[in-house]
Amino acid sequence: MDVNSDQTKELSRIREILKDHPKGLTIEDISRMLPLNRTSTAKYLNTLLISGQAEMETFGRAKVFTLSRRIPFSQLLNLSSDLMLIMDEKLLINQVNEPLTQYFGIPGGDLLGTKLDQTAIFSSFSPELIRAILDAANGKESTRMESIEIRGIRSFFRIKLIPCVFDQGEKGLTVVFEDLTELKKYQDHLEQLVEARTRELISTNDRLLDEVKKHRDTINALERSERRYRELLENANSLILRTDGEGRITFISEFAEKFFGISETEILGKNVVGTVVKPPINSTKDLNTLNREFLAPAKHMMFKEAAAIRKNGEESWVAWTIKELYDSKENFREFLIIGLDITTLKLYVERSQKMVSDFKESQGIE
């Protein structure tokens, strides 16, 4: 006898009975309709309750069961602009949403019921992402940055690999692709603009300083160049800092002063971490160590996310890009640090995660 098959059959029969009686039935009512003894009926009803497929209300000594009113999972998936893919532990695709099928240009019917490595999207995944998916299928949750190219167009994603459990207790995996392409393009453009102007200023400064002893006009040209550079930084709606090799702040843009609520005189000469970047919670490292780690090149990341310190107490998050700048002789000169306020984006991600979490709770998905 196949116990699992019998259980699935009985659960299906109970769901059909509850569907035909929307006002609800007691254990005794359902037991008579099956027919099945009261103990077994109660056991199956408890399974439906735990998995979120049934609801129970108590009226005096009677317990009345009804079928759960649930939003179809496929509809909920399509509410998100993120690309979403759901597989079982053998990487057999169970669900995909419309943004994913539209991005890859593949009908959902060609993906459902097919193992991931036998689909057209598999070739777009890097070996590192495939290994992370296999780890997630075994219960290891992770998040990574990945670039994917489809039809000559490259997009950048934050990919979340989340183990889950289906109604009948089978293990599964949810893959969420959060599109960061526009943010990356904007950040690259700003970096190129500021870095080009910064290199131009450094080159001009080096040339003019060599001639300053001979030509008084050189001083005026240097001042004009510096003024134009500062005007660029002050007018940019981004958080721009410059530091020396030890991470001591030597410049802060006016926009950054207003954002953090701190003046230039208060911050110059101080480390980035502890003044505008909040140290990690529960870290035992001293500020100098944290400062060096913050300025170190990021591995496998386009930018560094960090909580910000603002005088008004608002909780804010900033995505930082850190560039090492060199003079015309390729000697290290300083760090250029550009930040973007991503607080609104973080709030959106948290709300999306809460929606998924609430849905999992309502479905009994772990």
With the CA atoms of 225, 229, 230 and 233 taken in that order, what torsion angle do they form, in degrees rounded to the nearest 10?
180
Q: What is the pLDDT of residue 1?
A: 46
Q: Which two tokens stand for residue 133?
A: 């998916």
CA distance 161 to 167: 19
Determine the pLDDT at residue 269.
92
Count how many Cα atoms sit within 13 Å of the Cα of residue 20 in the half-sphere of its side chain.
8
Question: Around Cβ 48, how many Cβ atoms within 10 Å?
Answer: 21
Confidence (pLDDT) at 231: 59
| Residue 99 CB neighbours (<10 A) | 17
8 A C-beta contact, residue 349 and residue 176 = no
What three-state secondary structure class fits 118? helix
Contact, 55 vs 65, CB < 8 A?
A: yes
pLDDT for residue 71: 46
Instruction: Determine if the pTM surpasses 0.75.
Output: no
For residue 63, what pLDDT is reported? 87
Tell me the per-residue pLDDT of 113-156, one tens digit each, with 9 for 90 and over. 899 999 888 888 989 999 999 998 888 889 888 888 888 888 89
pLDDT at residue 80, as a whole number: 72
**Which residue type does 85 have?**
L
Alpha helices in the chain (DSSP H): 3-20, 27-33, 38-50, 73-78, 98-104, 127-137, 181-211, 217-235, 254-260, 264-267, 287-295, 343-363
Across the chain, which has 366 residues, the per-10-residue mean pLDDT values are 67 86 87 86 81 80 79 56 86 87 86 88 89 89 87 87 75 87 82 84 79 65 65 67 88 89 91 90 86 78 81 88 85 88 82 74 66
C-alpha gyration radius of the chain: 29
Tokens of 303: 């930018």
Amino acid type, 87:
M
Going along the chain from its start, the domains and CATH numbers come out as 3-67 (1.10.10.10), 73-179 (3.30.450.20), 236-347 (3.30.450.20)
Q: What is the pLDDT of residues 196-226, one digit of tens each?
A: 888 888 888 887 777 766 666 666 666 676 6
Provide the 3-class DSSP secondary structure of residue 89: coil
